[in-house]
A and B are shown apart, each in its own frame.
Chain A
Amino acid sequence: MSHARFEDWQLLDLAPGAELAEVNRALHFRRSLYQPGALATYNLLDEDERLRMLDRIDEAYRRITGNEPPRSPGPRPVEPVEETGLQGEGEVGSPPDPRTAPGAHLRFQRRARGLSLEQLSAVTKIRTSLISQIEAEEVDQLPAAVFVRGHVLQLARALGLADPNELAARYLAKVRLD
């Protein structure tokens, strides 16, 4: 129970020092509260606020447990099959390694949150085809590095990933190397 602050416990509505099982239950409850389409928070938050709330919840969990939050077992909205790339790569099961496959990592994280390209595009204002190209690491389709860096940062933030800067750096290193 490492760097947790009082607010972290508060955010999960737990007494400081609660058992891990309780923390896990609280994580599950609060995540489900902020899933897209959850009735109990219907239209309380806009999309950006909702994603940030999920991000905060995961952050609090990380600080409390020192672990990555487990993936929620709950059902996810079905996502339409997408056009390009990466079919079969990191589809289900083990998450892709952000260091070696930053694009696939972005796609995996987006899907894990039950977000469609359209929904993520609505939040980030990045067009869906470009998000898809970034996820697929389609090097020859991508704009200049400075834009790519900005887009990856934005996507990572919208998804509430732990270290957007690190991911953007990895991404640029990868697409340049390829």
Chain B
Amino acid sequence: MIEEIQEPTETGPRVWAIGGGKGGVGKSVVAANLALAVARTGARVALVDADLGGANLHTLIGIPSPKRNLSDFIARRVASLNEILAPTPFDNLWLVSGAKALLETANPSFGQKTKILRHLASLDVDHIFLDLGAGTSFNVLDFFLAARRGVLVVVPEATSVENAYFFIKAAYFRKLKRAQPRARVKAAVDEVMRGDARQRVRTPRDLMAQVMAVDAEAGAALMEEASTFSPSIIVNRIERSEQTRLGDEMGSACRDYFGINLRCLGNLPYDALVRRSVDERRPAVDLFPQSSFARAVRGAAGTVVGQPVEAVG
């Protein structure tokens, strides 16, 4: 299994994997703008395009597709990882083209995935934003889990919420499968699901409580594993004020159902200027810094870097 590539206390870049569920909710636009807003706080930021379905972060940033990419480094065609950091028009922000590396190995093994993430984590930056694209394939889930800071982008629509929960469920169970010692945990889970207590298991959270009752050590292992799964959520394209509650409400529902913490990183309003900025191939944070979207992105960036970000004058 792939390892988590860092603890929050460790040095090295913080890796934020932006993914989850549905296409068309604005993941790449959010990733590009958030990365730029964080770069403008003075932190060094690498934006990694890992969207297998359609890598186009370079277009959102307004540069040609980078000549060098992650596979060049893996194949040792470049000497140093820093050679694949493509400069952007913005200070402190670099783009890494990563999707090709993932595509070349159609189904990268755990070892390969670990290697890719290790390489990324050795970049000389403070934050890495990994745009994973849509979908719930094992590849996406593994990168999402391994990054430790998984961020789901949702819009206030039933299909998006549904996809987000589907993604969280898939990632959650993939995560729990890693609880050690695996045989003992599995035996305890099987015992619960065979016995009378099965009636009381309605949610993953119940399952953990029941496993705890039959085998405290296995239960603790599951809880330990679950406790390190705490994705964040960004709600995009908010049009009505009551929709600003969605992120927190989903957080409550996840706590009830999975027993996990889902933190809301930010609420981003629908803003027609975002579409214009995409057409102009410049992030809205740069082109329309006073737009409601850009302000909200700076708010989320403040949460990412752990301090409030002053509005750009």
Residues of A within 8 A of B (CB): 11, 13, 29-30, 33, 38-45, 49, 52-53
Contact = CB atoms under 8 A, between A and B. Distances in A.
Contacts of B203: 45, 49
Nearest to A41: B253
Interface string B243-279: 0011001101101110000000000000000000000
Main secondary structure of the interface of B (DSSP, over half): helix
B156 interface: yes
B202 interface: yes
A75 B202 CA distance: 28
B252 A33 contact: yes
B202 A52 contact: yes
B: interface residue count bin: 10 to 19
B102 to A, nearest CB: 29
B165 interface: yes
Contacts of B4: none
Contacts of A49: 202-203
A114 B220 CA distance: 39
A45 B161 CA distance: 12
Interface of B: 156, 158, 161-162, 165, 202-203, 245-246, 249-250, 252-253, 255-257
A13 B161 contact: no
Contacts of A52: 202
9 contacts: A13-B252, A30-B256, A39-B246, A40-B245, A42-B165, A43-B165, A44-B253, A45-B257, A49-B202
A44 B252 contact: no
A13 B202 CA distance: 19
Contacts of B255: 13
Contacts of A44: 165, 253, 257
Nearest to A49: B202
Given A41-B250, A42-B162, 6 more contacts: A30-B256, A33-B253, A39-B249, A42-B161, A44-B165, A53-B256
A52 B257 CA distance: 12
B256 A11 contact: yes
Contacts of B165: 42-44
A98 to B, nearest CB: 25
A43 B202 contact: no
B241 to A, nearest CB: 14
Sort A-B residue pairs by CB-CB distance and give the 10 closest, nearest first.
A40-B249, A43-B162, A42-B161, A44-B165, A42-B158, A41-B253, A40-B250, A49-B202, A42-B162, A40-B246
Contacts of B253: 33, 40-41, 44
Contact of B249 (A11, A33, A45): A33
A53 B206 CA distance: 12
Nearest to B156: A39
Nearest to A30: B252
A40 B233 CA distance: 12
B54 to A, nearest CB: 26
A143 B249 CA distance: 44
* Max chain A C-beta neighbours (<10 A), residue from B158, B202, B246: B202
